Structure 1
Amino acid sequence: MRKNIYLIGFMGTGKSTVGRILAEKLDMEFCDTDSMIEMKTGKTVEEIFEDESEEVFRNIESEVLTEITSRKNLVVSTGGGIVVTRGNMDMMRKEGLLVSLLASADVIFERTKNDKCRPLLNVEDPLDQIKKMLFDRAHFYIDTDFLVDTTDTPPEEAAEQIVEFYNNADSQG
């Protein structure tokens, strides 16, 4: 059984796209924490934010992460804010490799601007909000085993970089 790979990073950095490619390349199972939350609650992420609160969402997210970390051989695409809940980074690090996908604020804005399913970006100036949130979360996003900048890197190439890192890390124990 191989260690899990946890993809973290801001929304729009390519975690789901790269994660699916990566899982296929490594013959691992792909899972997405946001999708699992939606299956568990019967609500979309936006509905949870709207009907409940971000705090309720973060609590459910941590519960789902706990379930995931009991399994092996997974590529896990996490929600962009999973890193802000105390203990989540440690939980992922203990059970696998943490890989951060990074991208510039402008590229993230371009990738997410037409997606109305991003509750934290449904504000007057989403680009400014992206910059603020990236700044606030930067120390989490860089405290990982491996970083991939997806600003100008196609998903297939990003996945290849992670495969190479993972196989090297795996062979070293």
Structure 2
Amino acid sequence: MAKRRIVLIGYRGTGKSSIGRALSKKTGLGYLDTDQLIEDTTGKKIPQIFESEGEAGFRDIEQHVIARIPSGAGIISTGGGAVIRPANVQMLRMNSIVILLTSDPDVIYQRIHRTDRPSLTGLSPREEIEQILSERMPLYRSAADIVVDT
């Protein structure tokens, strides 16, 4: 049986990058972070991409990067909004076990409120977390094989 990829999805601050690196170290499988791949591909930080391209432009770049991820075994952590586009979900699910990482909104706030990631809504950070989680949770759950509370 071919080895499968492990894909980590979930909202910002749920531990996708930290857990992805730890799983890579533990299993010896390679690790890819789609946000890092986007920054490497564009030569820009994510806030700069949002500023110059907007969210739609960022999502186009994200989809292009996801399409180029090798199909072999490895650990992949995705950006929090990767599940917005069905094509991304389809590509990420191929030969993969998809793990949704979740956390309580207050825990997420404590983990991310000092980061430089751009606002998606213009709401306060706490309100944005609540709104985006409620919008994305059905997408996250439908894409996931396993759900883990971090």
Do the aligned partners of 2:121 and 2:128 also contact (CA within 8 Å) in 1? no
Q: Structure 1 regions of 5+ residues with no counterpart?
A: 151-173
The aligned residue for residue 136 of structure 2 is 137
Q: Match for 2:132: what amino acid?
A: M
Task: State the TM-score, normalizing by the size of structure 1.
Answer: 0.81
Deviations 1:3-36, CA, capped at 9 Å, x for gaps: 1111000000000000000111111001100100
Distance between the aligned counterparts of 1:125 and 1:50, measured in 2? Answer: 19
Deviation of 1:122 (Å): 8.2
Q: Deviations over 1:25-78 (max 9, x none)?
A: 11100110010000100111100100111111101101111111x331210010
Hey, what does 2:112 align to over in structure 1? 112
Contact 1:121-1:130 at 8 Å conserved across structures: no
Query: Quick one: which amino acid aligns to residue 127 of structure 1?
Result: R
Partner Cα distance (1:124, 1:132) in 2: 9
Please state whether the residue corresponding to 2:108 is helix, strand or coil. Answer: helix
Write the letter of the residue equivalent to 1:34: D
1:92 aligns to what? 92
Q: What RMSD in Å do the two structures reach over aligned CA positions?
A: 1.4
Q: Which whole-Å CA distance do the structure 2 matches of 1:121 and 1:66 have between them?
A: 24
- C-alpha contact 2:8 2:16 (8 A) present in aligned 1: yes
Percent sequence identity is 39
Cα distance in 1 between the residues matched to 2:25 and 2:3: 14
Residue deviations 1:125-167 (CA, integer Å, cap 9, x gap): 11001000000001112121111000xxxxxxxxxxxxxxxxx
Asked if the contact 1:34/1:45 (under 8 Å) is kept, the reply is yes
Larger Rg over CA atoms = 1
* Structure 2 unmatched ranges of 5 or more: none
* TM-aligned CA distance change 1:121 to 1:84, over 3 Å: closer
SS at match of 1:132: helix
Q: Which residue is equivalent to 1:54?
A: 55
d(CA) in 1 for partners of 2:13, 2:21: 15
CA drift of 1:124 comes to: 4.9
